Amino acid sequence: MHQLSAADLAQRLSSGEVTSVEATQASLDRIAAVDDRINAFLHVDAEGALAAAADVDARRAAGESLAALAGVPIAVKDVLTTIGQPTTCGSRMLEGWVPPYDSTVVAKLRAAGLPIVGKTNMDEFAMGSSTEHSAYGPTRNPWDTSRIPGGSGGGSAAAVAAQQVPLAIGTDTGGSIRQPGAMTGTVGVKPTYGGVSRYGLVAMASSLDQAGPVTRTVLDAALLHEVIAGHDPRDSTSIDAPVPAVVEAARRGDVAGLRIGVVRELHGSAEFGGGFQPGVRQRFDEVVELLTGAGADVVEVSCPSFVHGIAAYYLVMPSEVSSNLAKFDAMRYGLRVGPEGVPAPSAEQVMAASRDAGFGDEVKRRIILGTYALSSGYYDAYYGSAQKVRTLIARDFAAAFEDVDVLVSPTAPTTAWPLGEKLDDPLAMYLADVATIPANLAGVPGISVPAGLVDGLPVGIQFLAPALADDRLYNAGAALERLVGTTTLEEIA
């Protein structure tokens, strides 16, 4: 049962062929069988999930009309608050913290009848590209457990790839849904900024963060997108507009006549992206041929400011991190420790000792970088300049979308690398998000779709669309999925 897509499982649930309790128990059994090798989960709530599943079964038996995915088990990245389950953000700073409220995304999942089986591992406070920066140990890639699953949402991607759950929720600040999708052979979607509520999403960088679906098929992602999207008055950045017709687009999946732009700066050429792995570039070129053969009008477009995306992102994001993480002061909740040898420490001494003990190296690095960028005398030179580059990137997107319907690129420049390979080289780690970051800076939606294997490891192809045109992603993504097939893991390596 764990090999079924969410859409297929939902159909069997609706017909009465299986119950939600059976499906949820199958998911829990799969987690118990394989997660000691993957470490995708930080918390498993078997009792809560089975109770939610039993409630769905009872309501279905009573003839109640239920949501399309009612009864399908799901996992949630441990950065979204959940009543009754810890929300640690992969950090010692929040170890054991059980929130008193649900995030809007979680509340929508509960209302739609999806049993939440647990919380998935992640880079601490979503800072990382490999899920090695979790305070609770790294997640491993099910395709090769000696390799990373991508990050920061490697737990959600690995859980779906390892068939522990058919659906998961991730968050994407600079690629943290899409890049793990590419690394694990899963579908990952970053909706339009503001298309999914951030209420209850523990903020890393508020102008960049966005929750979205992690699934094994494009249709599953569309079905989940429809559940979690929509306006939320509790989020001041939430867009008050209809949710695009993503499910209809995923079912259509036809690129005939679609204008697709190959982003010159994200194609892996020596001039702009020499770090692109040859096999990834070759697979991308093959995909472009397939799309052309399916009737798409594929042209090259230039987005020259994209080459500055990494530099701008690593000023904007740490600046927001510096501001957002100031709330973790050991005074109200979370970890609190006192400095050694100080019998009556001041509040400032407790804050310093708690932050030193609670935050990992990567989080400290970004807080320090952001605080510096925002400091007097440097604000205009660094943060202000980065915001100007952000505007130029948004203009590049706007100009490109005057000529094409969607843009296409590799999702990540390489396949999954061995655990530990880039831990001592932060810049090399940051470059893994070179193709995904522009979408976050501009607020436009993106999808990563599996496009086969290179040397036995998954490769992802990214489509980008204008803001609020998320349906275009699902149309193009579903078409590609039909052309290349799904990337399914037969057995955990």
Residues noted as catalytic:
77, 152, 176
Give the HSE-up count for residue 453: Cα atoms under 13 Å, Cβ half-sphere.
10
DSSP three-state, residue 49: helix
100: CB partners within 8 A, 6+ apart = 83
End-to-end CA distance of the chain: 20
Q: Where are the beta strands (DSSP E) in 302-433?
A: 406-410
Distance separating alpha carbons of residues 200 and 54, to the nearest angstrom: 26
Q: Is 218 exposed, middle or buried (0-12, 13-18, 19+ CB in 10 A)?
A: buried
Q: Are 410 and 284 in contact (CB under 8 A)?
A: yes
* H/E run at residue 20: helix 20-38
Distance separating alpha carbons of residues 369 and 366, to the nearest angstrom: 5
Q: Are 379 and 387 in contact (CB under 8 A)?
A: no
User: Ramachandran region of residue 322, left (φ > 0), alpha (ψ -120 to 50) or beta?
Assistant: alpha
